[in-house]
């Protein structure tokens, strides 16, 4: 498509974005200096007024005030808001998915899948509202009961990234609300319209069930606005998703005020393919994990560590599949790879490929820009065969580049796998149980997510999501991630008429 046709498409997309906002019941933003672009064409969808420091602080105040009452509402009653949100998301699944495509560039199937993930976490949170369990422990003192209880924590600040503009917010918000917290959300300034849609649906859900809509606040803007959540002592927990660089800035500032951080930062995910692997299954998993979302997932597969005996046939399969991937407008049926988010992402990809080739890498396929328009950035996913795990391979480039390394011994493969700063997601492809168990053992993968015979991306909400090392150590979504959003109290109840002291101490 020529630049002229791209220009013709932008007004249609802008009109559609406005129509979708109306469908959610959202107010159309007043024009302002925050420009919302679509990566589909690079053109402008809308402009809106960002928050100021004063309006952001006012939003935190409203959330803090609402918390004083919300924390006293029984958890199963709080879940009514989340249940109604799930119903509204189900009713608007297609429309919200389309808005995700317009703002983030995801293909339709992935965008709707992200909305389904929101519905799934709402269902999880609804059940969780009756399972915020504490332990009862045996006391060493007769006539005493020792137990723990969990209480709402406070205001939860959520800073989310463009690549999952709605799901990560839902992970945090659904759990925080049933745990008795209130939420202030600062979305990426690249995807403010999806945030406005979600905020509208949540406030409607609260009103529909007779709850206080002030339990959720939305603030829009740049890093200065996000900094209000970082530095305000009323924000008890800051859940931040983004780059390692962002995490290095945020974590010490929150720690300095003794707040809590839940960090989901970079990933440089790898898969090991052993000689026993089912190569057809592995190839399918690799293609989606490496090329899905145009490589713009924190769980994207970026390193492929393959045994020398099978690297040839495996690469033939993967490269052949890559060459058949249809790259283009994500609103078009049959397209599997949409655009990079902006020019900066394309420049980062181009620079990384130059460095890889300069390090002795060999381009197997892909890497070139696909013509669409001057202001949009479509690329063919790249595969690069590397002689060693060089500096560029150890870095995360948020683009569809798959580096291929080889190994002969599984211990060496695991060493290569772990020899990066990040520790989010990982996989091994094998039909040998010993190899699988070795990978999952304490001295195997050092990542927060370790899979066998599936790719590195596409986590289910039932498991805790997060990683180690430079990935930040946070856990969101399933399992016992809810504990991040609550405070623990240890309680001792003396129901006797005596006053024995612990450890047998006498004080008379």
Q: List the catalytic residues.
A: 264
In 382-438, the DSSP E strands lie at 382-385, 401-407, 422-423, 425-429
Contact 156, 107 (CB under 8 A): no
The tokens of 337 are what? 């790879």
CA distances from 335 to 298, 302, 328, 364, 440 (A): 22, 21, 6, 22, 35
The tokens of 457 are what? 């991306």
∠ CA(250), CA(251), CA(253), 5° rounding? 70
Q: How many CB atoms lie within 10 A of CB 438?
A: 18
Residue ranges of alpha helices (H) inside 292-342 are 311-324
DSSP designation for 443? T
Place of tokens 């109306």: 22
- Tell how strand 44-48 and strand 34-37 pair up: antiparallel
Helix (H) or strand (E) holding 126: helix 108-128
The neighbouring-strand residues paired with 218 are: 185
DSSP designation for 140? S
CA–CA separation, 126 vs 123, rounded Å?
5
């Amino acid at each position: 498509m020529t630049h002229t046709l791209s220009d013709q498409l932008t007004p249609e997309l802008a009109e559609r974005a406005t129509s979708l906002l109306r469908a959610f019941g959202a107010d159309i933003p007043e024009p302002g200096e925050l420009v919302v672009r679509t990566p589909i064409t690079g053109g402008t969808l809308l402009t809106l007024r960002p928050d100021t420091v004063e309006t952001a602080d006012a939003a935190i105040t409203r959330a803090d005030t609402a918390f004083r009452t919300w924390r006293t509402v029984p958890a199963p009653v709080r879940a009514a808001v989340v249940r109604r949100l799930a119903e509204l998301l189900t009713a608007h699944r297609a429309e919200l998915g389309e808005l995700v495509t317009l703002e983030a560039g995801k293909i339709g199937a992935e965008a709707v899948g992200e909305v389904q993930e929101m519905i799934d976490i709402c269902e999880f949170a609804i059940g969780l509202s009756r399972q915020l369990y504490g332990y009862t422990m045996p006391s060493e003192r007769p006539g005493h009961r020792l137990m723990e209880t969990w209480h709402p924590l406070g205001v939860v600040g959520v800073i989310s990234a463009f690549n999952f503009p709605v799901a990560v917010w839902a992970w945090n918000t659904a759990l925080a609300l049933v745990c008795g917290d209130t939420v202030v959300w600062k979305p990426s300034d690249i995807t403010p319209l999806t945030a406005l849609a979600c905020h509208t649906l949540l406030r409607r859900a609260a009103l529909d069930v007779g709850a206080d809509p002030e339990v959720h606040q939305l603030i829009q803007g740049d890093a200065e606005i996000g900094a209000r959540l970082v530095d305000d002592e009323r924000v008890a927990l800051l859940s931040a998703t983004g780059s390692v660089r962002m995490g290095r800035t945020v974590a010490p500032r929150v720690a300095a005020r003794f707040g809590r951080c839940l960090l989901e930062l970079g990933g440089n995910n790898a898969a090991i393919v052993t000689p026993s692997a089912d190569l057809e299954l592995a190839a399918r998993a690799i293609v989606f994990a490496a090329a899905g979302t145009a490589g713009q997932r924190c769980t994207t597969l970026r390193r492929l560590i393959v045994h020398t005996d099978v690297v040839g046939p495996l690469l033939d399969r993967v490269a052949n599949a890559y060459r058949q991937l249809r790259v283009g407008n994500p609103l078009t049926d049959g397209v599997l790879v949409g655009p990079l988010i902006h020019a900066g992402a394309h420049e980062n990809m181009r620079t990384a490929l130059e460095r890889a080739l300069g390090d002795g890498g060999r381009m197997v396929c892909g890497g070139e820009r696909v013509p669409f328009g001057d202001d949009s950035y479509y690329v063919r996913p790249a595969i690069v065969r590397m002689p060693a795990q060089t500096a560029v391979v150890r870095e995360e480039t948020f683009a569809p580049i798959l580096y291929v390394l080889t190994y002969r011994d599984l211990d060496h493969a695991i060493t290569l796998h772990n020899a990066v700063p990040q520790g989010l997601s990982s996989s091994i492809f094998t039909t040998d149980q010993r190899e699988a168990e070795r990978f999952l053992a304490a001295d195997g993968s050092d990542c927060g997510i370790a899979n066998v015979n599936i790719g590195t991306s596409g986590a289910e909400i039932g498991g805790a999501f997060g990683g180690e090392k430079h990935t930040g150590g946070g856990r969101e979504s399933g399992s016992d991630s809810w504990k991040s959003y609550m405070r623990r109290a240890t309680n001792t109840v003396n129901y006797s008429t005596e006053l024995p002291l612990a450890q047998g101490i006498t004080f008379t």
